[in-house]
Amino acid sequence: MKKKHWSTILIEYILITVGCALMAVSIDLFLAPHTIAPGGVTGLAIVIKKITGISVSVTNLVINVPLFIAGVIVLGKAFGAKTGYATLALSFFIELVSKASQGYIPTNDMLLSTIYGGLITGVGIGLVFKSGGTTGGTDLAGAMLNKYFPNISIPKLMMCIDLCIVALAGFVNKNVETSLYSIIALYILVKMADFIIEGMGYSKAFFVISSKPDEISDEIMQNLGRGVTSLNGKGMYTKEEKNILWVVVDRTQEVKLKDIVKDVDENAFIMVANVHEVLGEGFKPMRS
């Protein structure tokens, strides 16, 4: 595998740092003051703070460091330097923001705190994941448990752990609404993280079955400037050999491509799928 340039690695660590800083702001200003715990070790740390008063940064470090070491032992080098760095950076920024804010809370509204806490945390986690790191926590715990319980997927194990933490938040706060708000924050967090990782620029993949594949291909290549791949297929009802056209276009070209197929063969069969990332000629360049 080609080694990354030092500038690429530097940018990744900068993004991880920014992501951890954003997570710390969200935890200290929006989530922790209201015991909103959207899963993860940080969520558990928020619950522990409510019970014992111990700083979220301390608990996060105390839990994550042994978890990271166990992960390296159990999983090998799957979780490397970036995860260790992100774990330390997150605890550092949580403590820094806590001292700098001096107990300042932007809003006492639980719903606003849930929404903004989930959004900012999601952006932070998304930046960390996009840069190839993790903050430890339930994703690491889920991966380790999956090694011993391979029949249960990592996402399901993570979800079970997160739901337990969410339920614990409501129990500790003696208010079921706390758990409900925590679930909302967890949902927003996941969606926002996915958005940061996948981005807005999704494309469309078209599969076209037609009796006029050559004419359609020519029109697509001439009018849209996109390459077309022909796949061999067979209609199992008619037993006829057919060419299946496969082409990926920007979402702005979706309507035009449909019009091209309709004009050439209005009886054609089209299947459209969302593609969240396309790398290569005509799309986003591949970088090491």
The mean per-residue pLDDT over the stretch 130-146 comes to 75
Checking DSSP bridges between strand 203-209 and strand 229-234, what pairing results, if any? unpaired
Answer yes or no: are the C-beta atoms of 155 and 226 closer than 8 Å.
no
More confident: 93 or 41: 93
CA pair distance 22, 129, nearest whole angstrom? 14
User: What percent of the chain clears pLDDT 90, i.e. is strictly above it?
Assistant: 33
Rounded to two decimals, what is the model's pTM? 0.72
Q: Answer whether residue 64 shows pLDDT above 90.
A: no
Task: List the single range of 76-80, 146-150, 156-160, 168-172 with lowest mean pLDDT.
Answer: 76-80
Determine the Cα–Cα distance for residues 61 and 205; give it in Å rounded to an integer: 44
CA 58/CA 182 separation, integer angstroms: 22
The reported pLDDT for the residue numbered 68 is 80
Among 83, 113, 109, 94, which Cα is nearest to 28's? 94
**Rg (Cα) of the chain, in Å, rounded?**
24
pLDDT band of 251, cuts 50, 70, 90: confident
Q: What does pLDDT average to over the chain?
A: 84
pLDDT band at 200 (very low <50, low <70, confident <90, very high): low
106-114 mean pLDDT:
93
Q: Give me the residue spans of the domains in the chain.
A: 6-198, 203-275
Residue type, 110: M
Is residue 60 over pLDDT 70? yes
pLDDT at 92: 93
User: CA-to-CA distance for 152 and 137, rounded, in angstroms?
Assistant: 18
CATH topology of domain 203-275: Alpha-Beta Plaits (3.30.70)
- Candidate from 35-49, 79-93, 152-166 with smallest mean pLDDT: 152-166
Give yes or no for residue 79 having a pLDDT over 60: no
- Cβ atoms 59, 49 nearer than 8 A: yes
- Band of residue 282 on the pLDDT scale cut at 50, 70, 90: low
DSSP string, the chain: -PPPPHHHHHHHHHHHHHHHHHHHHHIIIIIGGGT---SHHHHHHHHHHHHH---HHHHHHHHHHHHHHHHHHHHGGGS-HHHHHHHHHHHHHHHHHHHHHTT--S---HHHHHHHHHHHHHHHHHHHHHTT----HHHHHHHHHHHH-TTS-HHHHHHHHHHHHHHHHHHHTT-HHHHHHHHHHHHHHHHHHHHHHH-S--EEEEEEE-S-HHHHHHHHHHHT----EEEEEE-TTT--EEEEEEEEEEGGGHHHHHHHHHHH-TT-EEEEEEES--BSTTSBPP--
Q: What is the mean pLDDT of residues 253-282?
A: 85
CA distance 120 to 30: 9
pLDDT of residue 184: 92
Report the pLDDT averaged over residues 258-277.
88
As a whole number, mean pLDDT of residues 29-52 equals 88
Q: Higher-confidence residue: 195 or 32?
A: 32
**203-209 vs 241-250, strand pairing mode:** antiparallel
Q: Is the pLDDT of residue 44 over 70?
A: yes
pLDDT > 50? residue 1: no
Closest listed residue to residue 133, CA positions, set 11, 285, 274, 3? 11
Q: Work out the angle between the directed axes of helices 56-75 and 81-101 (0-180°, nearest 10).
A: 180
Query: Tens of pLDDT along 159-193?
Result: 788 888 888 888 887 888 888 998 999 889 888 88
Paired tokens of 32: 């922790």
Residue 140, amino acid: L
Q: Which of 57-66, 90-99, 195-204 has the highest mean pLDDT?
A: 90-99
pLDDT of residue 69: 81
